[in-house]
């Protein structure tokens, strides 16, 4: 039932790909951005930060137009080429920790998104959807794939492994010490076979990229209304995606840091926690939860384990059973007064790759009063929430792999 299609990717020449490929813009510090823009004229960051040419901060519609201009200049200068035949792209990453991810870059259907064949587990912010929709409408391309996942499929795995026996079109290692490999697949018989396998899957799941997929859907609605000859096969009816099997996802937790105890004294806070949790003081032991509904807390120089009192908390659906939701419903909202997890300035998030030492340091610095550590969400939990039409709290998952921007570009 899921529809994916090959496309003619715009992509860097083989000799430039390692110089051009960039992480997501907001993953760099200001100093890192400055050094890359200064020292690397081929970086994709020059396209998404076009004001650097004029040493000026540019935003809004003016920036969108300049992004399009920079992109066209890269094409005119031969830094980008476009494939002559529609292709799917096998993409493999071996990251700095030795983890391997292999999947397929393809164009996924906005119709499937609308019909809930591409399922989502996170809420999106309407203003961000609209901003990114207008950006896409002006620039006319996707440079960053939405991460989609599906149940492991042995036939598809065999095809991917067979293709990866060939010499890749790209093989490059980044300064971040991740190695990337890309293979083109343009054989029509093989393309049809891959598409048929996906068409027999009842659903795909968004792992990362909820705002990107929502914005692509909104853009398609706009362009459909503007096109009296709309057929449903136009390029704007699809968005670039990276599809990998569920077993290939790596999901990390997002730990929580809160700046104050909402006017409560330490002992008063602990007594209130006791209603919902069995509490044990672990002292300086780095306690990391190992079971569902167990939490770590760092407060006033000491770690605590918090075990949910199941008799006190009713679980009626998949969301109720999710640890990030339990933490919100039992501690963050009623005790610490945090109702808006996206916008409240008193809470910050730290993904699990930074571990509990980061949480401890942040609290010890005096910038935060308390930190909470959680277990990572599982793929099954994520799917159950999506299947029930529910939405996780924000910052429930930090998911790898993270593709580089600009390696394959989808035009519409």
User: Is residue 391 situated within a structural domain?
Assistant: no
| pLDDT > 90? residue 77 | yes
pLDDT of 342 strictly over 90: no
Residues 114 and 225 in one domain: yes
Q: How far apart are CA 202 and CA 340, in angstroms?
A: 34
Residue 338 within a domain: yes
Whether 125 shows a pLDDT value over 90: the answer reads no
pLDDT at 47: 97
pLDDT band at 44 (very low <50, low <70, confident <90, very high): very high
41-59 mean pLDDT: 93
The share of the chain scoring above pLDDT 70, in percent, equals 100
388 is a domain residue? no
pLDDT category of residue 27 using cuts at 50, 70 and 90 = confident
3-state SS, the chain, equals CCCEECECCEEECCCCHHHHCECCHHHCCHHHHHHHHHHCCCCCHHHHCHHHHHCCCCCHHHHHHHHHHHHHHHHHCCCEEECCCCEEEEEEEECCCCCEEEEEEEEEEHHHHHCCCEECCECCCHHHHHHHHHHHHHHCEECCCEEEEECCCHHHHHHHHHHCCCCCCEEEECCCCCEEEEEEECCHHHHHHHHHHHHCCCCEEEEECHHHHHHHHHHHHHHHHHCCCCCCCCHHHEEEEEEEEHHHCEEECEEEEECCCCCCCHHHHHHHHCCCEEEEEEECCCCCCCCCCEEEEEECCEEEEEEECHHHCCCCCCCCCCHHHHHHHHHHCCCCCCCCCCCCCCEEEEEHHHHHHHHHHHHHCCCCCEEEECCCCCHHHHHHHHHCCCCECCCCCEEECCCCECCCEEEC
Query: For residue 381, is it within any domain?
Result: no
**228 pLDDT above the threshold of 90:** yes
Distances (CA, A) of 23 to 63, 317, 331: 19, 36, 35
Same domain (yes/no): 339, 241: no
What average pLDDT does range 156-182 have in this prediction?
Answer: 96
158 and 302 belong to one structural domain: no
Residues 26 and 169 in one domain: yes
**Residue 396 domain-assigned?**
no
The tally of domains found in the chain comes to 2
Domain that holds residue 281: 254-375
Asked whether residue 332 falls in the same domain as residue 223, the answer is no
Q: Is residue 187 part of a domain?
A: yes
Residues 355 and 224 placed together within one structural domain of the fold: no
353 and 300 part of one domain: yes
Chain mean pLDDT for the chain = 96
Q: Which phi and psi (to 5°) does residue 240 adopt?
A: -70, 135
Tell me the average pLDDT across 48-69.
93
Please write the tens of the pLDDT for every residue from 206-215: 999 999 999 9
Q: Is the peptide bond before 353 cis (omega within 30 degrees of 0)?
A: no
The candidate with the shortest Cα–Cα distance to 282, out of 263, 297, 270, 261, is 297
- Tens-place pLDDT, residues 109-121: 999 999 999 999 9
In a domain, 385, yes or no: no
- pLDDT for 353 beyond 90: no
Give φ, ψ of 285 to 5 degrees: -70, 130
**Do residue 109 and residue 147 come from a single domain?**
yes
Residue 41 has what pLDDT? 97
Is the domain of 211 the same as that of 92? yes
Q: Would you say residue 176 has pLDDT above 90?
A: no
25 vs 179 pLDDT, higher one: 179
Question: What are the pLDDT digits (tens) for 305-322?
Answer: 999 999 999 999 999 999
Q: How confident is the model at residue 62 (pLDDT cuts 50, 70, 90)?
A: very high
Which pair of tokens denotes residue 32?
Answer: 């890192």
> 66 with 85, same domain?
yes
Q: In terms of domains, do 322 and 207 share one?
A: no
The reported pLDDT for the residue numbered 65 is 97
Is 332 in the same domain as 363?
Answer: yes
Tell me the pLDDT tens digit for each residue of 374-383: 999 999 999 9
Terminal alpha carbon distance of the chain: 23
Can you tell me the distance from the alpha carbon of 89 to that of 293, in angstroms, rounded to the nearest whole number?
40
């Amino acid at each position: 039932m899921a529809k994916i299609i090959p496309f003619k990717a715009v992509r860097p020449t083989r000799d430039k790909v390692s110089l051009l490929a960039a992480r997501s813009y907001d993953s760099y510090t200001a100093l890192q951005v400055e050094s890359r823009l200064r020292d690397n004229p081929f970086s994709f960051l020059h396209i998404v930060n076009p004001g650097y040419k004029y040493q000026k901060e540019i935003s809004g519609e003016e920036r969108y137009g300049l992004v399009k201009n920079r992109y066209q200049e890269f094409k005119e200068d031969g830094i980008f080429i476009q494939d002559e035949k529609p292709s799917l792209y096998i993409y493999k990453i071996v990251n700095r920790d030795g983890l391997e991810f292999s999947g397929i870059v393809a164009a996924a259907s906005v119709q499937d998104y609308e019909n809930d064949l591409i399922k989502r587990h996170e809420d999106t912010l309407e203003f961000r959807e609209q901003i990114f929709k207008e950006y896409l409408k002006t620039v006319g391309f996707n440079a960053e794939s939405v991460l989609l996942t599906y149940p492991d499929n042995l036939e598809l795995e065999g095809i991917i492994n067979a293709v990866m026996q060939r010499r890749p079109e790209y093989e490059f290692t980044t300064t971040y010490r991740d190695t990337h490999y890309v293979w083109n697949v343009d054989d029509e018989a093989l393309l049809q076979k891959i598409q048929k396998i996906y068409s027999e899957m009842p659903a795909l799941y968004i792992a990362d990229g909820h705002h990107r997929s929502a914005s692509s859907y909104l853009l398609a609605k706009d362009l459909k209304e503007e096109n009296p000859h709309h057929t449903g096969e136009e390029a704007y009816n699809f968005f670039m995606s990276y599809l990998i099997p569920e077993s290939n996802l790596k999901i990390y937790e997002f730990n929580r840091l809160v700046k104050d105890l909402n006017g409560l004294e330490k002992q008063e806070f602990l007594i209130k926690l006791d209603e919902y949790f069995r509490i044990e003081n672990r002292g300086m032991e780095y306690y990391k939860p190992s079971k569902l509904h167990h939490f770590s807390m760092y407060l006033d120089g000491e770690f605590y384990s918090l075990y949910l009192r199941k008799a006190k908390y009713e679980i009626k659906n998949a969301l109720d059973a999710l640890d990030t939701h339990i933490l919100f419903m039992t501690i963050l909202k009623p005790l610490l007064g945090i109702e808006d997890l996206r916008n409240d300035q008193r809470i910050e998030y730290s993904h699990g790759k930074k571990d509990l030492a980061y949480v401890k340091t942040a609290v010890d610095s005096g910038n935060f009063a308390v930190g909470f550590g959680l277990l990572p969400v599982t793929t099954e939990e994520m799917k159950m929430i999506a299947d029930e039409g529910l939405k996780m709290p924000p910052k429930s998952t930090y998911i790898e792999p993270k593709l580089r921007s600009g390696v394959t570009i989808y035009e519409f």
